[in-house]
Amino acid sequence: MKKRLFTPGPTPVPENVMLSMAAPIIHHRNPEFMEILQQVHEDLQYLFRTTQPVVVMTCSGTGGMEASISSLFGPGDKVITVNSGKFGERWGELVRVFTGNCVEEPVAWGTAITPERIVELLREHPDARGVCLTHSETSTGTASDIKALCAAIHEESDALILVDGITAIGAHEFHFDEWGADICITGSQKGLMMPPGLALIAVSERARDIIEGFRHERPQYYLSLKKALRYHADDDTPFTPAVTLIIGLSEALRMIRAEGIENVWARHARLAAACRLGCEALGMRLFSSSPSFAVTPVWLPEGVDWKEFNRILKTGNGITVAAGQDEFAGRIFRISHLGYYDEFDMLSVIGSLEFTLKAMCVPFEIGSGVAAVQRAFLAD
């Protein structure tokens, strides 16, 4: 049976990217590799819309979040985080470990924080040194308006702005320089269409000044942005990097540049809209009030058992979607369309939902889901 992955990381990897990583290995201090890394550094600036350095670290996206927190803040530094899902929660965990002074704002799952609320928080905590945001909260399939949030923060405060762009970069419009973010992180296995193993971190001039100027030794070594930035200046890395993954990344970034970043963003918006319409046409309710273009969360139909639904999708149709998490486990599921997806992939996944609902005797009009998807594309 053909297998199709609709999970928000790992996401499908194009065949040419896979094969680029199967070439004979080269040494990381070899000029051949350093040229590749130089091109990757340039292409990452294109991706993040920045003239600032974007460093590559061999770790997961969480490693990149830790590198940012532990490199920018020290014990006692007050940092505001927004907990609207599993990944916003992670910002809070990291701040508590590294500074011990976290102002964590709870936000209902499936909704996004408003610029007005961020301003209120900054007025309550004028001594906040940073604000941690999540562009696309993977656990709830919900996008924040990072442009408006950045503008509101800049108007009110000098706090640093850290953006978890892990499932947003490559899916949602994002302009690191223009919007004035200080840190933005993504992971290789997301919009970059790569296997996991790399974190990519853009660092603003203001953030670099703070990192360089720190008087005290931070309790960090491998995940030090200071070290990573120093080596980045020579298109190098402080520790042996995941050579094959970086070679694959260079191929994936070449594909993104060839398509054009604006076209990549538009494709994600188009696929996400079609996915939502397809689900609704089948009588399913959407979970998020501010849906992400990376992943679409959907309530399971009344009376449908998640385990059975997922079993039929997976073993009967070869389709893997993501489960709900925490209190929404067994109540919602999430369809990812982040990275290497096109229109016909949306037909496949909505088609597989029709097969599954039919097998579970849930009433719906056969073909209505896929027809809604086609209308979304062809009525453009």
> How far is the C-alpha of 191 from the C-alpha of 186, rounded, in Å?
8
Give me the least distance between CB of 315 and a second copy, in Å please. Answer: 11
Our finding on whether 85 is near a second copy (CB under 8 A) is: no
Residue 4 or 175: the one with the smaller Cβ distance to a second copy is 4
Q: Which residues contact 66 (CB under 8 A, 6 or more apart)?
A: 94, 98, 223
Give me the least distance between CB of 374 and a second copy, in Å please. Answer: 27
- Reading the block at residue 127, the tokens are 């001594």
Give the residue, chosen from 221, 260, 311, 342, that forms a contact with a second copy under the rule CB under 8 A: 221
Cis before 126? omega within 30: no
Give me the least distance between CB of 197 and a second copy, in Å please. Answer: 3
E-strand stretches of the chain: 4-5, 54-58, 79-83, 102-106, 130-134, 136-137, 142-143, 160-164, 183-187, 198-203, 295-299, 319-320, 322-323, 332-336
Please name the residue that has the structure tokens 């919900």: 142
Residue 66 or 156: the one with the smaller Cβ distance to a second copy is 66
Residue 209 or 217: the one with the smaller Cβ distance to a second copy is 217
Our finding on whether 97 is near a second copy (CB under 8 A) is: yes
Sign of CA dihedral 9, 12, 16, 18: positive
Whether 318 contacts 2, CB under 8 Å: yes
Our finding on whether 62 is near a second copy (CB under 8 A) is: yes
Site for a second copy in 312-351 (CB under 8 A): 320
Give the residue, chosen from 241, 291, 351, 369, that forms a contact with a second copy under the rule CB under 8 A: 241
The maximal CA–CA distance of the chain, rounded, in angstroms, is 66
Our finding on whether 9 is near a second copy (CB under 8 A) is: yes
Our finding on whether 242 is near a second copy (CB under 8 A) is: yes
Residue 242 or 362: the one with the smaller Cβ distance to a second copy is 242
Our finding on whether 244 is near a second copy (CB under 8 A) is: yes
Our finding on whether 22 is near a second copy (CB under 8 A) is: yes
Q: Which residues contact 109 (CB under 8 A, 6 or more apart)?
A: 84, 85, 139, 140, 142, 327, 328
b/e per residue 7-20 (b: at least 16 CB within 10 A): bbbbbbbbeebeeb
Give the residue, chosen from 87, 98, 174, 328, that forms a contact with a second copy under the rule CB under 8 A: 98
Our finding on whether 108 is near a second copy (CB under 8 A) is: no
Please name the residue that has the structure tokens 């080269």: 26
Site for a second copy in 130-149 (CB under 8 A): none
**Number of chain residues interacting with a second copy (CB under 8 A):** 52
- Reading the block at residue 5, the tokens are 């992955």
Site for a second copy in 189-208 (CB under 8 A): 189, 195-197
Our finding on whether 76 is near a second copy (CB under 8 A) is: no
Our finding on whether 25 is near a second copy (CB under 8 A) is: yes
- Reading the block at residue 353, the tokens are 């939902």
Instruction: Report which of 190, 255, 275, 271 is spatially closest to residue 7, judged by C-alpha positions.
Output: 190
Give me the least distance between CB of 234 and a second copy, in Å please. Answer: 17
Our finding on whether 177 is near a second copy (CB under 8 A) is: no
Give me the least distance between CB of 323 and a second copy, in Å please. Answer: 9
Our finding on whether 34 is near a second copy (CB under 8 A) is: no
Site residues for a second copy per CB under 8 A: 3, 5, 7, 9-13, 18-19, 21-28, 30, 58-63, 66, 70, 93-94, 96-98, 187, 189, 195-197, 217-223, 239-245, 320
